[in-house]
Amino acid sequence: MSRRWRLALAALLMLAAAGLAGQALWLQAKAVLAQHLIADAWTQSLRTGQPVKPWRWADTWPVARLTEPGGRHHHVLVSVSGEALAFGPGHHPASAQPGEAATVLLAGHQDSHFAFLRHLQPGDRLELQDARGRVHVYRVGQMQVVDSTQQPMRFEQGRPELRLVTCYPFASLQSGGPLRYVVSAWLEPST
């Protein structure tokens, strides 16, 4: 291969690498911007009492804010669709609202917003702010791995529970398997 061809091939490979790096940076920038827009929509929702979409064409909006033990906030979106879960944890529409005497089910990706679940311990405190601005405190009670093909998700009635669900195992390279990591936390009496 002549020197000219090697230089052309090297230039082409450098351009391809630059394009891939640029695409990765663009995706990361969009993800960061989306989190700011979702946080702003949440603030507007609390102020107005109405759901606010984070951007005009969004098919979801924030309905709650989850605070993990370390103080990090996650804005919970109205849906558990794949599109919504790309931007944050989602509230299952068949479950209860925060603070109600039933199961509030939130789902999220184990490699992003719900990665912290692997570090939770019984007794840890989780806060869930509802759309009216009230903060409900839940204490982690148990963690378990369930096979979603053998154990369908059931919603409890009469007992205020927060259930956080993500795929399992953590840091898996394969997604979409049947195993789910489920954290159950129970509402503390308000003071």
CB atoms within 10 A of CB 88: 25
What pLDDT score was predicted for residue 153?
83
Select from 76, 170, 79 the least CA-distant residue to 120. 170
Question: Comparing 20-29, 50-59, 161-170, which segment has the lowest mean pLDDT?
Answer: 20-29
Instruction: List, in order of start, the domains of the chain with CATH numbers.
Output: 56-187 (2.40.260.10)
What pLDDT score was predicted for residue 24?
62
Calculate mean pLDDT across residues 30-45.
88
**Mean pLDDT over all residues of the chain?**
90
User: Percentage of the chain with pLDDT > 90?
Assistant: 67
For residue range 44-89, list pLDDT tens digits in order. 999 999 999 999 999 999 999 999 999 999 999 999 988 888 999 9
- Cα-flanking dihedrals φ and ψ of residue 74, to 5°? -130, 120
For residue range 86-121, list pLDDT tens digits in order. 999 999 999 999 989 999 999 999 988 999 999 999
Contact 63, 80 (CB under 8 A): no
User: How far is it, in rounded angstroms, from Cα 107 to Cα 97?
Assistant: 14
